[in-house]
Amino acid sequence: MSHQLTIEPLGVTIEVEEGQTMLDAALRQGIYIPHACCHGLCGTCKVAVLDGETDLGDANPFALMDFEREEGKALACCATLQADTVIEADVDEEPDAEIIPVKDFAADVTRIEPLTPTIKSIRLKLSQPIHFQAGQYVQLEIPGLGQSRAFSIANSPADVAATGEIELNVRQVPGGLGTGYLHEQLATGDRVRLSGPYGRFFVRRSAALPMIFMAGGSGLSSPRSMIADLLDGGVTAPITLVYGQRNAKELYYHDEFRALAERYPNFTYVPALSEGAADAGGGVAQGFVHDVANTHFDGDFSGHQAYLCGPPAMIDACITALMKGRLFERDIYHEKFISAADAQQTRSPLFRRV
């Protein structure tokens, strides 16, 4: 039995199937509710239940406190409807956002290749075309685990349309069940299932400002797709990529970005290593991403838009550097790569192993 869900302040009413979460129903009908983990752990998708009845599901008590439950709050990624319901969500209008309903896909693994000692590229041939904005991600089901993991699409929309394949860059997380399976058991020819696209990490083209991309680790996936999409589309605004890794062995797509910098005069590539930059050849800076970016721009980031993707510590350091360098917070967009396995090692109650 389905129920109706009215989402304020949009004033939109949608159908929600029995057992379906509010978030899943909204995304599959092209309505965006802010979210992140999709497992009831982070609290990003918190909404206020104004009327009706819900089952709060498996919401973590740290993400949804007891007093919030008493106030009628719920996590949209966990809550299901027991009756027609009205909620209020923190929804901002995004003029550059496309309305793209989430869909389910089957996919065949066509290629697996190592990019670094810890990161693999996985190419998946989709059962049907996917439309997405560069920077968005998919949820890949892990066979035998009963859970999904989020991975950004690493190739551009044009490449996906031409090949029918998406590329995922997967870093093996120590102790991670999902990434361990993908690195150690997944094979060419296997069939997997996924859903998408998800997320609001995409270029705000309407601003027409020079762009700075700052990435670390496997956080290069989204910027690679976004930069290729911009250059393929003829964007002439200055684009700078500052990309950091620990050492030269972990620096991937290095030659690809150097070739793009030679081909496009408006694109600048600034690779950075925290260890052994002198051994990596010319043009590689020594230091962390935020420090190298600060040096490259002489401490002045004003008049830019910044897109950050990588581990939380890197994101936080970059935001601090950008704001000290006179960039407004409204012009900073970021996507944190939070590993639940890493969080488990710090004994955080908010995360599970991945």
Assigned token pair, 19: 């057992």
Question: Is 347 or 144 the better-scoring residue by pLDDT?
Answer: 144
pTM of the model: 0.89
Cβ 266 vs Cβ 237: under 8 Å: yes
Record: fold of 3-88: Ubiquitin-like (UB roll) (3.10.20)
In this prediction, residue 353 carries a pLDDT of 36
In this prediction, residue 336 carries a pLDDT of 66
Q: Where are the domains of the chain?
A: 3-88, 103-198, 205-340
Please indicate whether the domains covering 3-88 and 103-198 agree at the CATH topology level. no
Terminal Cα-to-Cα distance of the chain (whole angstroms):
33
- Name the superfamily (CATH) of residues 103-198: Translation factors (2.40.30.10)
In this prediction, residue 145 carries a pLDDT of 86
In this prediction, residue 92 carries a pLDDT of 81
Exposure string over 274-310, b if 16+ CB within 10 A, otherwise e: beebeebeeebbeebbbbbbbebbeeebeebbbbbbb
Cβ 153 vs Cβ 122: under 8 Å: no
Assigned token pair, 14: 């949608």
In this prediction, residue 255 carries a pLDDT of 94
In this prediction, residue 342 carries a pLDDT of 42
Q: In 3D, which of 88, 86, 154 has the Cα closest to residue 115?
A: 154
Q: Which of 96-100, 278-282, 309-313, 350-354 has the lowest mean pLDDT?
A: 350-354
In this prediction, residue 139 carries a pLDDT of 95
Mean of the per-residue pLDDT values of the chain? 92
The 10s digit of each residue's pLDDT in 55-94 is: 999 999 999 999 999 999 999 999 999 999 999 999 888 8
Residue 121 in this model has a pLDDT that exceeds 80: yes
The 10s digit of each residue's pLDDT in 277-315 is: 766 677 899 999 999 999 999 999 999 999 999 999 999
Give the DSSP letter string of 265-314. TTEEEEEEESS-GGGG-TT-EES-HHHHHHHHTTT--TT-EEEEEE-HHH
Record: fold of 205-340: Rossmann fold (3.40.50)
The 10s digit of each residue's pLDDT in 249-273 is: 999 999 999 999 999 999 999 999 9
Sheet holding 73-75, edge to edge: 12-16, 3-8, 85-88, 46-51, 73-75
Q: Specify the amino acid at residue 101.
A: P
Angle between helices 312-324 and 289-296 (to 10 degrees): 20
Cβ 338 vs Cβ 354: under 8 Å: no
Average pLDDT estimate for 321-329: 97
